[in-house]
A and B are shown apart, each in its own frame.
Chain A
Amino acid sequence: MTSKTFSQGVYLPHYKKFSEDKSITVISLPEEVVIPLHQHTGAPCHAVVKVGDTVKTGQKIGESAAFVSAFIHASANGTVKAIEPRPYFNGLLVESVVISVNPEQEEPRWNEKDVTELSRDEIKAAIKEAGIVGMGGAAFPTHVKLSPPKPIDAIIINGCECEPFLTCDHRMMVEMTDSLVEGAKLIARAVEAPHIIFGVEANKPDAIQAIGAKIAGDSNIEIAVLDVKYPQGSEKQLIKAAMNLEVPPGKLPFDVGVIVNNVATAIAVYEACRYQKPLYERVLTFSGDGAAKPGNVKVRIGTPISHVIDQCGGLPSQVGKVVLGGPMTGWAQSRLDVPVVKGTSGILIFTSSMVDDYGHMDCVRCGKCVEHCPMYLYPNYIGVYAETRRYPMAVEWGAMDCFECGICVYVCPSNRPIVQFVRDTKKHVAARSSK
């Protein structure tokens, strides 16, 4: 089978063996869940419950009148213990609803609905009500994404999962194929897109087979088998690989008539339309060279990562880093009481042998970052200029077009933290423009 791809990028070690064959299991409820009211791109929600209120699984606890926002729901039956700022995975404090979980839980009951009858507005309303966001990591509200100002030719369902270690999308494609394909159809219907393309990397043959069997005979749905190359799952690179279209700098996929949604998002859309089930739990990968029991686990939103780690065998003695998300774009944590949120695709435990803790050297202009940059930028120059605080020059060499995939740092023999330099530049530019 020939596999499509984009140019440049890099072949990373996969590290998927730890968890790719492990079926999804459910993590028990913790004693308390901490649910941040701002888990998405856009306006934060405000709490619609008070301290002392009893809440039920799936009950709405946070909302916002802003269009670009996503509702927040309780992930367990319990009592609201506090509404206060709590640590978030990015190191900041975020206003959160703390729920002390009842020891007695009942299974939430759903009324099944026939989804074939739903209109496009009903689908979008269901998505908005369920608080669905992009679950690949960016956490952009899905109902906003599905309200493009232009007609859409195709929906791409992103099943690349190009980050090493992560396998949760892979497992969902294999174990929840029905919901996935139905969800994709609902998304396509919501934007009246005539085509659906499933983009899957070639290292997931069982997922390709499962989806292929499900879509056989439907001429509007196809599956694009993609090269196992990082960052294949990045929207722009995925659109290039699957449809040979390039999204211009500063533009979004809808500008070329495409919308990309992650596998987990499509499944959440199906569950929201079929059962009116809000997004209060998600599947994530627990892995890393220091993970005692790697696997793919379904976790309630708001579960502290320490609880997940305990349920999966605890931390090793030689722990170096705990990363939320994938190893290339994820966030290293300084404390373990941060909660799992809608965008958390993985919890990775690295031993100190995988942690690179020494400083960086000057750029030697080897050009390896240039050779591999998927946006055709010049990370070497961006890094040198940002390091010396010449931000306009860093912008000239492409800092604002960088989506921080991390390849430049990965290949750099001088160990330069170029992604950090890019973030510096972006912050500086943002501060300048808001003045």
Chain B
Amino acid sequence: METRLVVSSSPHLKTPESIQSVMTDVLLALFPAAIAGVVFFGWMGLLTMVLCMVSAMVTEAVILRQKNIFGDGSAAVTGLLLAMTLPPAPPWWLTVIGGVVAIVIGKQVFGGIGNNIFNPALVARAILMVSWAGHMTGWLSPVDLVSTATPLPLAARGVSTSFLSLFIGTVPGCIGETSAFALLLGAAWLFYKGHICWRIPGGYIGVVFLMGMFFGGMGSLATMVSVGLFHVLAGGVMLGALYMATDWVSSPVTPRGKLIFGIGCGIITMLVRLYGMYPEGVTFAILLMNAVTPLIDRATLPRKFGEVTK
């Protein structure tokens, strides 16, 4: 009998990790925040997340002509991330359009997975925001679901929100952004699996804290720290810093570049919040930094092994 042998270039060992397994890990990491979204915002939260994921996955499957709707899992992640940045009860068609836009304009026009310049979910969110501003700011209070404002504009009017509510997430906001606790829990899983490192979220959250502290209104040290902390916990910083800015494709790969990227996101977010027209700046901060990612990579080339630094 003739033996047929496989021939390929070395190495002949491989981790079992694949795009699909990593995307599954990200979905798992988003699970606590998704649960929190359902608990706080009810069935509309769940429906929006499911609809957005299905819309993104179907769009991707159609474009790639693949039979398996889950595919590599990246469309599901994009859909879920987008849904988490939507207000609790958007019209169903807005959600569907969001999923389609994220995949088509955010990702596939650039050549599909790995080639997009911007974070696809945030591209879709930005487009929805400028197209249907009213629907995109229909905030509801958690559990009892009555119309209300979010902590960031409330703070501008001098109404404070307790840190416990901000940490647990019982505040008005986007479906998946309110619970810092749930987001941190999921991020811990991604750290453990080695899919994200501390540099981007560390730089981002650190700068938001410091800028909130020093530019958010001077006062006693305790007041300044509490303003800094408020800016970290309120709005979309946690979701953005841990899950959006850390998107592999649209962020730098060099260690120093990651830190610079995080710091840049933090600065832009705080400039928008403190001096801009919008109450929140996470979306635009990350998109702007996405645009300079190739520049950052080139500028932060570290030394090769054995190279002497000048």
Task: List the interface of chain A (C-beta within 8 A of B).
Answer: 12-13, 91, 164, 236, 240, 246-249, 251, 315, 319-323, 325, 327-336, 348, 350, 352, 354-357, 361-368, 370-371, 374-378, 380-381, 398, 401, 404, 406-407, 409-411, 413-415, 417, 419-420, 423
Q: A366-B22, A401-B304 are in contact. Are A409 and B11 (CB under 8 A)?
A: yes
Q: A328-B13, A333-B5, A410-B14 are in contact. Are A364 and B248 (CB under 8 A)?
A: yes
Q: Do A333 and B7 touch across chains, with their CB atoms under 8 A apart?
A: yes
Q: Do B14 and A246 touch across chains, with their CB atoms under 8 A apart?
A: no
Chain A residues contacting B11 (CB-CB under 8 Å) are 327-329, 406-407, 409-410, 419
> When the two chains form the complex, which single residue of A247, A357, A364 contacts B249, counting CB atoms closer than 8 Å?
A364
B66 at the interface (CB under 8 A from A): no
Whole-angstrom distance between the Cβ of A100 and the nearest chain B Cβ:
25
Q: Do B10 and A413 touch across chains, with their CB atoms under 8 A apart?
A: no
With both beta carbons as reference points, the residue of chain A lying nearest to B195 in the complex is identified as A366
A127 to B213, CA, bound (A): 71
Whole-angstrom distance between the Cβ of A254 and the nearest chain B Cβ:
14
Chain B residues contacting A406 (CB-CB under 8 Å) are 10-11, 13
Task: List the interface of chain B (C-beta within 8 A of A).
Answer: 3, 5-15, 17-19, 21-22, 72, 111-115, 194-195, 197, 248-249, 251, 253-254, 297, 301-308
A370 to B13, CA, bound (A): 18
Q: Do B7 and A236 touch across chains, with their CB atoms under 8 A apart?
A: no
Q: Do A380 and B12 touch across chains, with their CB atoms under 8 A apart?
A: no
A-B contacts, 23 listed (Cβ < 8 Å): A164-B13, A236-B305, A319-B3, A328-B11, A328-B13, A329-B10, A330-B10, A332-B12, A361-B114, A366-B22, A366-B248, A371-B197, A374-B305, A375-B305, A376-B305, A378-B301, A406-B11, A409-B10, A410-B14, A413-B15, A413-B22, A417-B8, A417-B9
Q: A248-B307, A320-B5, A365-B248 are in contact. Are A415 and B18 (CB under 8 A)?
A: yes
Interface of A is mostly: loop
Whole-angstrom distance between the Cβ of B191 and the nearest chain A Cβ:
13
Whole-angstrom distance between the Cβ of B297 and the nearest chain A Cβ:
8
A37 to B307, CA, bound (A): 38
Chain A residues contacting B301 (CB-CB under 8 Å) are 378
Q: Do B13 and A327 touch across chains, with their CB atoms under 8 A apart?
A: yes
Q: A361-B19, A376-B303 are in contact. Are A404 and B10 (CB under 8 A)?
A: yes
Q: Do A419 and B9 touch across chains, with their CB atoms under 8 A apart?
A: yes
Chain B residues contacting A378 (CB-CB under 8 Å) are 253-254, 301
Q: Do A401 and B114 touch across chains, with their CB atoms under 8 A apart?
A: no
Whole-angstrom distance between the Cβ of B114 and the nearest chain A Cβ:
4
Q: A366-B22, A376-B303 are in contact. Are A321 and B12 (CB under 8 A)?
A: yes
With both beta carbons as reference points, the residue of chain B lying nearest to A396 in the complex is identified as B301
